[in-house]
Amino acid sequence: MLAEVGMRFSELSSLKRGCIEQDVSGNWWLTYYQFKMDKGHRVPISKDCAFIIQEQTKFSQELFGDEFGLVFFGRSSGQTWRRKQLQNQPFNKAIQRWAKDSDIRGPDGKIWHLTTHQFRHTVATRMINAGVAQHYVQKYLGHETSQMTQHYAHLHDKTLRDAFDKYHDGQVVDIKGVIHEPTDRDVDSSDLQWFRSNIQAQALPNGSCSLPTVAQSCPHANACLTCTHFRTSHEHLDTHKAELKKTEEILEKAHANGWTRQIEMNEKVITNLRKIVDSLEAS
């Protein structure tokens, strides 16, 4: 519940039976009271989350009947369930024991010190990192002002770094080192997969061929590094570097032996490989 909804512990512990409802479309909604804002708050939840609340409500009903109206409740030191509201301190101790038993560790290698409010931070950060607009995050968390949401709306350095690397790794170059940008960056994954399966003629170990399928198979698959239809990207950079080194050795041997045809062929390949490597490294 904390990990999905991002509610405060006080809001979770005071959650009342009958707090969920289903709309005409079959979607589930959770209504709870925000003490800090002194108002009711309604948010969409998943079917799994709704199921948990239903099962817990049923358990509460079986134990206490109608005498206790809360969904969650505490227990005594003797592990006996009691008609009392969950308390923050023992709950925090419980999840800290769980973190230890589950061997959950931080970047420093030490057992992570879990607290209930960290789940709220996580929900907000995940939504921001997933590209959810800040005003939606603000409404979901129940913040009255955007300044409150900005406290959570931070991108971790690693998230930004990964996005940056993914952008550059996605750049495609040809044998002249010219970067080819996609014509539509908003194409969805299903369209992209169809395009890759039906339009690209063949995948190569160090790139791909941009010839349309209608052009049929390429009779020069072993000459891609001199073909204008060849495309490659940053993920193949190491392969190109190794191939460049190998080709330079071949060319050196060809010069030493006076192999004119080998010299002519490999000089063209080396020229293109150097352009490819230089362009990918620069990008």
Domain check: are 183 and 272 in the same one? Answer: yes
Domain check: are 143 and 181 in the same one? Answer: no
Number of domains in the chain: 3
What is the SS3 assignment for 56? Answer: helix
Whether residue 261 lies in the annotated active site: no
Whether residue 136 lies in the annotated active site: no
Domain check: are 259 and 179 in the same one? Answer: yes
Structure confidence at residue 99 (pLDDT): 92
Domain check: are 42 and 125 in the same one? Answer: no
162 domain-assigned: no
246 domain-assigned: yes
Domain check: are 69 and 92 in the same one? Answer: no
Residue pointed to by tokens 């409500």: 57
Domain check: are 145 and 204 in the same one? Answer: no
pLDDT band for position 101 (50/70/90)? very high
Structure confidence at residue 165 (pLDDT): 61
Please tell me which residue in 140, 143, 234, 240 is annotated as part of the active site. Answer: 143
Domain boundary among 12, 39, 73: 73
Q: Which letter, b or e, does each residue of 66-75 get, where b requires 16 or more Cβ atoms within 10 Å of its Cβ?
A: eebebbbbee
Structural domain harbouring 216: 169-282
pLDDT band for position 18 (50/70/90)? very high
Whether residue 33 lies in the annotated active site: no
What sign has the CA pseudo-torsion 163, 168, 170, 171? positive
What sign has the CA pseudo-torsion 152, 157, 160, 163? negative
28-75 pLDDT, tens per residue?
999 998 877 777 888 888 999 999 999 999 999 999 998 889 999 887
Whether residue 161 lies in the annotated active site: no
Domain check: are 126 and 179 in the same one? Answer: no
Q: Parallel, antiparallel, or unpaired: how do β-strands 20-22 and 28-34 relate?
A: antiparallel
Name the amino acid, one letter, at 238.
Answer: D
pLDDT band for position 199 (50/70/90)? very low
Please tell me which residue in 17, 100, 117, 241 is annotated as part of the active site. Answer: 117
Whether residue 152 lies in the annotated active site: yes
- Across the strands, what pairs with 231? 208
DSSP assignment of 7-21 equals: --HHHHHTPBTT-EE
Whether residue 220 lies in the annotated active site: no
